[in-house]
Amino acid sequence: MNTSQTPQAESSKQLRKVLISSYLGTMLEYYDFLLYGTAAALVFGPVFFANLSPIAGTIASLGTFAVGYIARPLGAVIFGHFGDKFGRKRALLASMWIMGLGSCLIGVIPSSAAIGSWAAIILILLRVVQGIAMGGEWGGAALMALEHAETKKRGFQAAFTNAGGPSGSVLATVAMALVALLPEQQFMSWGWRLPFLASAAMLVLGIYMRRQIDETPVFKAAIYHQEKKLKEAAPIVEVLKRPKTVILVALAIIGSSGMQTAFSTFGVTYAVQNGGDRTQVLMAFAIAWFFAIFLTLGYAKLSDRLGRRPVLIFGMATLALSVYPLFTLLGRGTFGSVVVAFIIFAVFHSATYGPLAAFLPEQFSTRSRYTGASLSNQLSTLLGAGFTPVILGSLVAANGGSIVPVAIYMAAMCAISITFLLILRESKDNDLETVGTVPLPAEVRTPTPMGSETIS
């Protein structure tokens, strides 16, 4: 074997492992997190809030969904700190364990008929656990892919992290749709629990894959400075010294977070309440999310050529213009109209989602990148998505079933994102190889087998 090819072959092999690991890890996290959203819309009201009216029970159930979003910024700070101080890999393994175990436990909570209000309390506590784990997962997975990626392909290669999102959504939706085929009594008593318990198998696979990957070369270089005892603040302190970046980035993607939650939770419920068959609506959503896997990668690749901002602005603008007609289609309740609505949504939303795995981390320096990217993303989901299902449900109830207030609210959220995207600078050519404002010494910069200079 030609030994001169060995480093390149090893580098390519490691990159493939990283991309697969990031994809599978995010798929598991989104499976667990969004499975809860579907169950909250269809199941948790009567199971855990049986003492309330159907409408009040649904709103209360969706309220527990919001609790997970409230906990996500806390997870971003916790896992961001340890990921920036001790490595991306360790933080990612911990977040996966926490999310997987939390989801399995949700599947064994007794109903309120068995233990009264304790059922809802346990549900909320486990949702908080899920939120903390989710808060640390996305940023670390995105960084692991981004910091291993080839410079000119950062958007595309980092997007394998985001491609795991719709993949997890497909699995969660299909799993819930299959158990929804059970007779109503069996589905409500034990059938809905099976998809939560199934996450144990995915957890084992995800942990195995994550143990096979190496720490990122960019982070290893940052450790050089720590070993040389250069003065550095804690990652969260460094981020909060310049909070403007976190705030601007969070507001720039608020429309994407809000739209994703609006259609995956409220949209599903709205279609069912307007005559759609529950299983068919879930399958329609799964079909659309299957296309979103490839659309996410396609838009990310486009962002490597055109830039992150143009692709993101296109997605936000098309979502704002299409939200009313899409909800009108969902309101018809037929399988065909629901499929078309969800697919069109996936086409536009993927443009706001594909570039994010590169766009967010590119805004921050290495020693605070995990914290900064995670915190800005989780603040966006908290503000844009956490309370969206409850707000939209309340708007419809208060306006006699009209969808117009919903369309206005969601379009305004996209308009906010466009405004702040115009304020932010393009990031696709940002240099990831610097650590804060301190340049790396020449002895730790080496040419990589991929042909671009990175850090070893």
Please tell me whether residue 275 adopts helix, strand or coil conformation: coil
What pLDDT is attached to residue 361?
A: 87
DSSP string, 374-391: HHHHHHHHIIIIITHHHH
- pLDDT tens readout for residues 248-288: 999 999 999 999 889 988 898 899 888 998 888 988 988 99
Q: Which two tokens stand for residue 395?
A: 């708007």
Counting residues of the chain whose pLDDT is more than 70, the rounded percentage is 86
The answer to whether residues 255 and 380 touch, using CB atoms and an 8 Å cutoff, is no
- pLDDT tens readout for residues 177-207: 888 888 888 988 889 999 999 988 888 888 8
d(CA 214, CA 411): 42
What pLDDT is attached to residue 339?
A: 96
53-67, 146-160, 242-256, 258-272: which has the minimum mean pLDDT?
53-67
* Beta-carbon contacts of residue 364 (< 8 Å; ≥ 6 apart): 239, 245, 371, 372, 373
The answer to whether residues 168 and 62 touch, using CB atoms and an 8 Å cutoff, is no
DSSP string, 352-366: HHTTHHHHTGGGS-H
Distance, first Cα to last Cα, the chain: 24
d(CA 239, CA 418): 23
What pLDDT is attached to residue 92?
A: 84
The amino acid sitting at 137 is E
The answer to whether residues 70 and 390 touch, using CB atoms and an 8 Å cutoff, is no
pLDDT bin (cut points 50, 70, 90) of residue 8 is low
What pLDDT is attached to residue 455?
A: 30
Please tell me whether residue 307 adopts helix, strand or coil conformation: coil
Average pLDDT for residues 10-17, to the nearest whole number?
78
d(CA 33, CA 65): 9
Please tell me whether residue 107 adopts helix, strand or coil conformation: coil
4 burial (CB, 10 Å; 0-12 / 13-18 / 19+) is exposed
On the question of pLDDT at 38 being above 80, the answer is no
Average pLDDT for residues 146-165, to the nearest whole number?
86
172 burial (CB, 10 Å; 0-12 / 13-18 / 19+) is buried
Average pLDDT for residues 296-313, to the nearest whole number?
95
The answer to whether residues 142 and 88 touch, using CB atoms and an 8 Å cutoff, is no
* Beta-carbon contacts of residue 400 (< 8 Å; ≥ 6 apart): none
4-18, 35-49, 60-74, 336-350: which has the minimum mean pLDDT?
4-18
On the question of pLDDT at 217 being above 80, the answer is no
Query: How many C-beta atoms surround the C-beta of residue 294 within 10 A?
Result: 13
To 10 degrees, what angle do helices 54-86 and 118-146 make? 40
- pLDDT tens readout for residues 357-367: 899 888 887 77
d(CA 302, CA 357): 14
211 versus 443: the higher-pLDDT residue is 211
> Rg for the chain (alpha carbons), in Å?
22
On the question of pLDDT at 291 being above 50, the answer is yes
Kindly report each contact of residues 56-62 with a partner whose C-beta sits within 8 Å and lies 24 or more positions away, as own/partner: 58/269, 58/393, 59/390, 59/393, 59/394, 62/265, 62/266, 62/389, 62/390, 62/393
> If we measure between CA atoms, which residue out of 281, 426, 372 comes closest to residue 84?
372
On the question of pLDDT at 449 being above 60, the answer is no
48-62, 164-178, 437-451: which has the minimum mean pLDDT?
437-451
On the question of pLDDT at 438 being above 50, the answer is no
On the question of pLDDT at 65 being above 60, the answer is yes
Give bridge partners of residue 446 from the DSSP assignment: 454
> If we measure between CA atoms, which residue out of 237, 242, 260 comes closest to residue 69?
260
> If we measure between CA atoms, which residue out of 315, 320, 339 comes closest to residue 329?
339
d(CA 92, CA 133): 9
What pLDDT is attached to residue 224?
A: 52
Average pLDDT for residues 42-64, to the nearest whole number?
75
* Beta-carbon contacts of residue 347 (< 8 Å; ≥ 6 apart): 291, 295
What pLDDT is attached to residue 108?
A: 92
pLDDT bin (cut points 50, 70, 90) of residue 79 is confident
Q: What is the pTM of this model?
A: 0.78
d(CA 454, CA 440): 11
> If we measure between CA atoms, which residue out of 110, 97, 106 comes closest to residue 36?
106
Give bridge partners of residue 454 from the DSSP assignment: 446
- Look up tokens 């318990």; give the residue: 197
b/e sequence 412-430, b meaning 16+ C-beta within 10 Å: ebbebbbebbeebeebbeb
122-136, 271-285, 329-343, 442-456: which has the minimum mean pLDDT?
442-456
Average pLDDT score over the chain: 82
